[in-house]
Chain A
Amino acid sequence: MRKVAIVGAGMTKFVRRALETPKELSYEAAKITLDSCGLTLEDVECIAHGTAPDAFDGLHQNGEYMVDGCGGWNKPTMRVYVGGGTGIHAVVHGWHHVASGLFDTCLVVCEEKMSSALPHAQAFFLTIFDSITERPLEPNLLWIFALEMNRYMERYGYTKEDMALVAVKNKLNGLKHPASQFTEEVTVEDVVNSEMMAYPVSRLDVSPVSDGAAALLLVSERVARRLTDKPVWIEGVGWSLDTAYWATRDLYYPRYTDTAARMAYEMAGIREPDKEIHIAEPYDPFGYKALHHMEGLQLSPRGKTVQLLHDGHFDIDGNLPMCPSGGLLGVGNPIAAAGTMKVCELFWQLRGEADGRQVPGNPRLGVAQSWGDLMQVSSVVVTGI
């Protein structure tokens, strides 16, 4: 397999409701990504794009609709879709296109517009549950997160205040991100006292509903050397899908993340991820999920993660900065675009271009991870310079 570099990144602002259509959002992110590395659509050989449920848009086969905004006109174009995992899975997908030797350039574009669905995009998640053994119970998506969060907290004696600290820290980081949809700091008290949605999940434990898009340009080594003296290499990729019988696996540990991370680390030649990795962007649609994923990513010992969080280990100036972008809690969560945003963040951080939220000490190795479907998929990308 050939080496693959990221040479450009761009995104739209994440907002609660965007004027732009999904196609227009895709165009904005794709175009600014090309501009960032001085290329035009003519230089792009193929497209890997992603958007999560068609039901959000009410447009069946939304990937085909999006294609023009992604620059896919008359090009080899493929959509991947693994729910919340899509944003990084699409990067893995793009990596295949270039690593295989089939293409030298691949534009990765992920978009989500959640605001079109009324009254709330969450209603469509009812339809991911098993149609016969679960849906008659009228589940909602918050149920499974609340069930997982409760199990995780119980297992290690973590508290709601502990989990709230993730939202506090991520939202603080996000204030420095130019694409963030937030403008205010929150405190642990704010999070704990925010409206109870589904115990133990309160409103501020949850990332917002967002519209937005993010993109990356992936190229072969030969092209990368011509374009830039600061390529960011994709050192490893991994992905895994666990069983859809989600109630039959113990929810306290994300086995799917463990499997995906080990695959990516093996490819990257990483033996001690907690010591070797400088920046982590775990998927954080809920505060607890960032910590849960840090354990699955082998970046924190099981059951010790809250202590490390309190000790500042995961702060921007800590030993292993977590979600320096602000993550989904701090920037926003347009589902598929949110994952891609995390890889954009690694790109900017490793190049020293992250402005006010730059991780100090010239970080050289980062990992980003996304998660989705019925709490069963993880996609992982390791990047380095």
Chain B
Amino acid sequence: MEDKIKVAGGTGLSAQDISSGKIFLTEDSLDCTYAWDTGVAVNRYLEELKKGKIIATRCRKCKRIMLPPRLFCELCFIPCPDWQYVQDSGIVNTYSICYVHWDASRIGKDEKPHLPAVIEIDGAAPGMGIMHILGEVEPQEIKIGMRVKAVWKPEAERSGSITDIKYFKPC
């Protein structure tokens, strides 16, 4: 038996099927809490962010100066015990102007769009970017290749987090 294309099942439901009670639903929600250890390399990264500095690790073999810093080079697979400060400036490798929240809900009318970007940090290996957000810039003025600099939280407010950098602004 060799029949033609077979499609079966996949019974579509409409919103009305649900609201009218035609089908039954059960609901549940999960509330999970985690405490993540920051790890050997990233712990130092966060310590330095708290001081207002960005630190990288350097691979002795491929010579990459890597962000975020790592205990080992994933390319050469050797330990990276050498630490090196890099600048808190860089260039925009790419960016987006985002109108939805993390759960895909639309941002409010008065809310400004999120401005995520990949920023190639000065002093790190070429092309070595981190994800962060842009600020103090009109969305339509952002360009790939634009130079930007970190805007730090006041020292007293820093907590050892990537958000100790509030955003990067054009410079």
Q: Tell me the A residues contacting B by CB distance below 8 Å.
A: 9-20, 24-25, 27-29, 31-33, 35-38, 58, 119-120, 122-123, 126, 130-134, 136-140, 142-143, 146-148, 150-151, 154, 178-179, 181, 195-201, 211-213, 228, 230, 243, 245, 247-251, 348, 353-355
Contact = CB atoms under 8 A, between A and B. Distances in A.
B131 interface: yes
Contact of A12 (B9, B36, B98): B9
Contact of A13 (B9, B30, B129): B9
A322 to B, nearest CB: 20
A147 B163 CA distance: 20
B117 A133 contact: no
Nearest to B129: A247
Contacts of A122: 103-104
Interface in B1-57: 1-13, 17-18, 23, 28, 30, 34, 36, 38-39, 42, 45-46
A295 B48 CA distance: 40
B84 interface: no
Contacts of A132: 36, 38-39, 42, 46, 162
Contacts of B9: 12-13, 18, 20, 24-25, 27-29, 32, 213
B94 A38 contact: no
The interface residues of chain A, by DSSP majority, are classed as mixed
Nearest to B117: A147
Nearest to B161: A136
B100 to A, nearest CB: 6
Given A10-B8, A353-B5, A137 B162 contact: yes
B68 interface: yes
Given A15-B10, A35-B6, A251-B118, A148 B36 contact: no
A131 B46 CA distance: 13
Contacts of A38: 1-2
A334 to B, nearest CB: 9
Contacts, number: 199
Task: Indicate the member of B36, B95, B103, B130 with the most A CB atoms within 10 Å.
Answer: B103
A146 B131 CA distance: 13
B162 A119 contact: no
Task: Indicate the member of A119, A133, A138, A251 with the most B CB atoms within 10 Å.
Answer: A133
Contact of A198 (B11, B66, B97): B97
Given A15-B10, A18-B12, A19-B13, A148 B94 contact: yes
Contacts of A58: 28, 30
Task: Indicate the member of A126, A200, A247 with the most B CB atoms within 10 Å.
Answer: A247
B128 interface: yes
B42 A133 contact: yes
Given A251-B118, A348-B5, A28 B100 contact: no
Contact of A151 (B13, B94, B163): B94
B129 to A, nearest CB: 4
